[in-house]
Amino acid sequence: MSRTSFYAVLFFILGFSTYLSSQNNNFYKSLKNAKDIELSHAPGIYGQSKLIDFKIKNTSGQELTYHTIDASGTKIQESAFTISQPTIVKVDYKDSLGNKKCYVGSYIVNVKHHLPIVSLCVDHDNFFPPNGVYYGYHTTDSIPGKLVTVGRAWQKEPIRAFAQFFIGNKMRDELALDVKTYGGMTLGWKEKSLQLSARKEKYGRSKIKVKLFENLPMDAFQHVVLRTSGNDQNKSRLQDRSISHVADDLGINTKASRAVVLYINGQYWGIHNLREKVNGDYFKYRYNWKKENFTELQGSGFRNASFKSMIDYAKAHFNDSDYVEQMNERIDVESLFNFNIIQTYISNPDYRGNIRFYKHKDGKWKWVLYDTDLACRHDFVNRNFIRDRTFPSSRYWYNPNYATVLLNSMLKNETFKKQFANQYCYLLSTYLSTKNFHDKFDLNKAIIEKEFPIHAQRRSNLYRESVKNWNSKYKRILQYFSKREKTAHSHLQKALNLDSLKNISVEQNMLGTFKGIKVNGSEVLCDRFSGQFFTNYTLDVEAQNKNHQYVFVKWSDGKKQRKRVMVPGDKKLKAIYKKRKESSLKDKLKVKYFYVKGSNKNPVYFVSLLNESFQDMNLDGFKLYEDVSGVKIKLKDVVLKSGKTMVFCNNDSLIKKQIKKKSILYKSLDLGTNFAYQVSFVLLDKKNGVVDVLDANATDSMLINASNYLFTNNKNQIKSKKMSLKKLKKIDFASPLKRTIAVNAQSFFWLILSSSIGLLVFITFLLFRFGIININRNNTSIFLILFSCSLAFAQPVDSIKPLAEDGEKVIADSLIVTNEEAEEYVPIDKFGNTSIQERLIDNKGRGDERFDGTRNFRVLLFDLIYRGGGNNLHLKDTIPKYYLWNPMPLYGLRQLQKVGFDEAVYLYSYNFEYWYPQWRLDSLKKEGFTYRCEPKAERYLPTYFQEVVDHANDSTAGYIYIHCWNGWHQSGLLSAYTLMQFCDYSNQRAVKYWESCTDGHYKGYRKVKDKIRAFRPMKGFSFTEEQKKKHCPCNKEFAIKETTSKDDQVNLSREDMMQKNYSKKHVVKAGDNLYKISKKYRTSISNIKRINGLKSDLIKVGQALKVP
């Protein structure tokens, strides 16, 4: 290159860089990061009833212009002003080079929200009507009768914006980006969905860097959508999101989501569903695929030669002998069938064109479900929508030929027809049940319910909505599923020309523990199903070992083969599993640590085994299972030395570099994912005994804060801790070994005796040695006799020999003195509990999956009464301070019912009627489950004690769960009363029990302890001796935690730990009514009536009412 050319290129680069620099300055920037400005308050959420006296200090030397942007418009301000409502603060100025700069920040003030917040700052004229991109509607041209679109919304042109994301009351990310309208015909509605896109070439950032979605571990996205729920925007606002959650149960790809509140220029814009966008990026970050290695199609897909070729083959060759094999090689048949099954069940006419499918170059075609907001129309309940999408007799706008041809062709093949019919019936009996749809809708309704009254008033009551109307529309959607369940079988029967229906019922005995039943080879497993199946076909059922803590033993009819062929009308069948026996190496060989750092580029994870015994261990024949991914590691030719660690990792070079310990043995591990945030490791010995288990689950709230965690298995309690890669070197991978011996009482006596004789022999020898005793024939004989005795007594007896198994020595971990003749009976319940002090679920909601939805779950009376708290951690991001002040979540009650509970009792009253109106309680009762609110423990005692007696006398009755907020104080009080009433606990022992089960939160609470000390058992409520032996605990001592661990800390003060009595009173005045009083004290009419014992709405002047 010549010198002239070189300078020309250099000049171009410098000029282009200057241009880009000027362009990059011409957009919004973070007010928090402005170098020339000092703020009195950083952007953020400042809560309810709080004003900000805001000040800005100019250190730039330049002239600055200050603006506030809120619902009332834009105002120019001085350097000091008051912020009294949600506001954007905007600062404009030119720097010393003359470049324009614009800094913005959101201040959410004087308002309380129950959801995460997305705040956008946009150019007013460029966004809002009448000239902005948010303006648009459609009308009909009167002459040709065609639809006419009006407004910029239809153009979907991007404009610049600045976005701030607040989750858990903290700003998680902020950046300049593009915003544009998103959607199809719904752009003609009053509310429009918006797409947010990070653009590195325009604003310097290519990703929004925050974990945005509850069920997705990724924390970097280029495109996201703020969706209004489309056609459901003025109805439930829940439909698309809830149906997607049902589709997740079927293994169908969906768009992840999170309910958020949207602000635009300080104006409240209501509840939106923050969702993924399905495009090429969706598959890149979900599967870590490179763009050139996969294909993503929409609509007919006929323009793609590969897909069109497959369609042509499907149409022409359905009678070929190898048709099933050929089609299974090209498409994921279950993905196609499940996608069409749920779409036809919800009668979604809009999936004619809303079809997306994809494949990796080495994989098969799969389908993605989205946009179901037009589904669940009651006028479609009796229309045979299944026939319209399989063998249509007529063509409508919603079933064009291109949308039905593939399924139609495959169902002409008898094998695929059988698979489709059986799969449809199987899903109807499990995940497409009315109950599952209702559960998903209820869960999502609970998330937005507290926000909805504010949402309904958005933008001057945009749709004239009210909470009452919303509930009415919500119930109507639920009614669709109740009706659809009755018509789906008959529609399928007519569409496929099938015979009659008969019932098939299969379940496993370990309900709610794991899903081990596989039906017709489907990857959608269950723990039970019961439903109608067509007599045309048999059904293949298999009992699988998906959780290696358990093993399949036999079927209820005695047959032991895993796979069965069932005929509709067969008797009910149960798969019998049993828990594997514990290995003799338990507590000697530990699955000690699991570390994970999720990332698409450089994921890191490892699990470690630690030999805590005094013997080297030959692990040949041992197996390490990870049950979430299904990975199995055979430990072949592995010897783990005493006190040493073995690490299984996905990146041994990186892990070695960080840990820096040469004594560790490394093996490779591939869990098939870059985000291994939920794992379940089970280590089995060569006889398939359970050596150790490590279950780890990084929750949504954990992953919002960090992406890297270390999980430690400490005495079967899993503790999590944020940890960077650099800090891995601080982990102690060695074992502090203490050599100890297990002996019984008799052996202990002989051990002391032999030691004493040995000491006597040694002293006698010293006396001889130094001439204190003269040696002659007689005392020499005495010495020899004593020496011989000491040798005899010093021989090891069987009870103090190291325990041997399979030729290997194993030394016990502690000195245990036992008396086998005085061995006590230790009760154990159905769930494996042996102690009333140990928790099956910890304070973070981690532990035995059978009790999901609870916290600090403990047994009280074995196989009878259980205690704990409700797991409302899912509300932490929406109700940051008082998320614990709530009853059980609905999914938790459902889970308890699954494992045998028929009643739960909430021992406080806060928010009970809010989450559980009478219609919901009635619905639960119809399903055989009672949920009640009993905030006055002493008043409730006679009723409660009678229930305990009745349940103990009824072998068919379920279990009872008593709970407060955390499972410590109020439930502990009732539990202490129970143990004194039925199990002969003294008052002092009951106090010790109460303190031990607060997990460190026992200091203070004098009134509670005094109540326990003052309690006297009531007459008429008692156990027989047999019932005491069966249900009462054997704990003699209770270990009380002096300090509270990090995991057991909560955000409540001691005063807020228990619900207060209603000490506040309102004296009724002239003109008062219950409605006015409820509004004044922010409670409900029914709540005031309940706490005052009112049977009607009548109140009198001068009457004193208790109020919360």
Element (H, E) at 891: helix 890-898
Ranges 246-250, 360-364, 517-521, 952-956: which has the least confidence: 952-956
Pair type for strands 678-684 and 622-626: antiparallel
- Asked if 478 contacts 471 with a C-beta cutoff of 8 angstroms, the reply is no
Rounded distance, CA 965 to CA 888, Å? Answer: 9
Q: How many other CB atoms sit within 10 Å of the CB of residue 571? A: 9
- Asked if 29 contacts 90 with a C-beta cutoff of 8 angstroms, the reply is no
**pLDDT score at 876:** 67
Q: How many other CB atoms sit within 10 Å of the CB of residue 979? A: 22
What's the predicted TM-score (pTM) here? 0.72
**pLDDT score at 214:** 85
**pLDDT score at 405:** 93
Ranges 9-13, 118-122, 191-195, 622-626: which has the least confidence: 9-13
Tens of pLDDT along 1061-1096? 655 788 889 888 888 888 887 777 877 887 777 878
**pLDDT score at 755:** 67
Peptide bond into 130 cis (omega under 30): yes
In the predicted structure, residue 1108 carries a pLDDT above the cut 90:
no
**pLDDT score at 796:** 46
Ranges 131-135, 365-369, 1061-1065: which has the least confidence: 1061-1065
Question: Which residues are within 8 A (CB) of 809 and not within 5 positions of it... i.e. 6 or more apart?
Answer: 615, 802, 803
Structurally, at CATH architecture level, domain 1065-1106 sits in Roll (3.10)
Determine the average pLDDT of the residues in 808-817.
Answer: 32
In the predicted structure, residue 1048 carries a pLDDT above the cut 50:
yes
Partners of residue 66 on adjacent β-strands = 77, 91
**pLDDT score at 743:** 43
For helices 434-448 and 239-249, the axis angle rounded to 10 degrees is: 130
Tens of pLDDT along 480-529? 999 998 899 999 999 999 999 999 999 999 888 899 999 999 999 999 99
**pLDDT score at 1085:** 82
Domain parsing of the chain, residue ranges? 25-229+260-276, 291-516, 517-579, 589-730, 748-800, 849-1056, 1065-1106
In the predicted structure, residue 793 carries a pLDDT above the cut 70:
no
Evaluate whether the domain defined by 589-730 bears CATH number 2.60.40.1260.
Answer: yes
Tens of pLDDT along 736-786? 654 444 444 555 555 566 667 667 766 766 666 666 656 555 555 555 555
Rounded distance, CA 510 to CA 528, Å? Answer: 10
Tens of pLDDT along 424-468? 999 999 999 999 999 999 989 989 998 999 999 998 888 888 999
Tens of pLDDT along 861-902? 999 999 999 988 767 665 665 678 889 998 899 899 988 999
Q: Name the band, by pLDDT with cuts 50, 70 and 90, for residue 577.
A: very high
**pLDDT score at 778:** 55
Highest mean pLDDT among 84-98, 347-361, 625-639, 1057-1071: 625-639
**pLDDT score at 403:** 86
Determine the average pLDDT of the residues in 622-648.
Answer: 93
Q: Which fold has domain 849-1056?
A: Protein-Tyrosine Phosphatase; Chain A (3.90.190)
- Using the CB atoms, write b or e for 391-423: b if 16+ within 10 Å: bbeeeeebbeeebbbbbbbbbebeebbbbbbbb
**pLDDT score at 971:** 93
Rounded distance, CA 141 to CA 152, Å? Answer: 18
Cα distances (angstroms) measured from residue 546 to each of 204, 421, 517: 47, 26, 9
In the predicted structure, residue 302 carries a pLDDT above the cut 50:
yes
Question: Which residues are within 8 A (CB) of 292 and not within 5 positions of it... i.e. 6 or more apart?
Answer: none
Tens of pLDDT along 973-1008? 999 999 999 999 999 999 999 999 988 888 888 889
Between 26 and 686, the more confident residue is 686
Rg (the chain; Cα; Å):
35
Q: Name the band, by pLDDT with cuts 50, 70 and 90, for residue 24.
A: very low
Return the HEC string of 206-247.
CCECCCCCCCCCCCCECEEEEECCHHHCCCCCCHHHHHHHHH
Ranges 87-96, 788-797, 911-920, 1052-1061: which has the least confidence: 788-797
Partners of residue 841 on adjacent β-strands = 847, 857
Tens of pLDDT along 240-272? 999 999 999 999 999 999 999 999 999 999 999
Query: Positive or negative CA dihedral for 827, 831, 835, 836?
Result: negative
**pLDDT score at 813:** 32
Average pLDDT score over the chain: 86
In the predicted structure, residue 608 carries a pLDDT above the cut 50:
yes
Q: How many other CB atoms sit within 10 Å of the CB of residue 502? A: 13
**pLDDT score at 2:** 52
Question: Which residues are within 8 A (CB) of 362 and not within 5 positions of it... i.e. 6 or more apart?
Answer: none
Q: Report the Cα–Cα distance between both ends of the chain, in Å, rounded.
A: 84
Query: Positive or negative CA dihedral for 320, 322, 327, 332?
Result: positive
Instruction: Single out the residue of 1011, 1015, 1021, 1014 nearest to residue 945, CA to CA.
Output: 1021
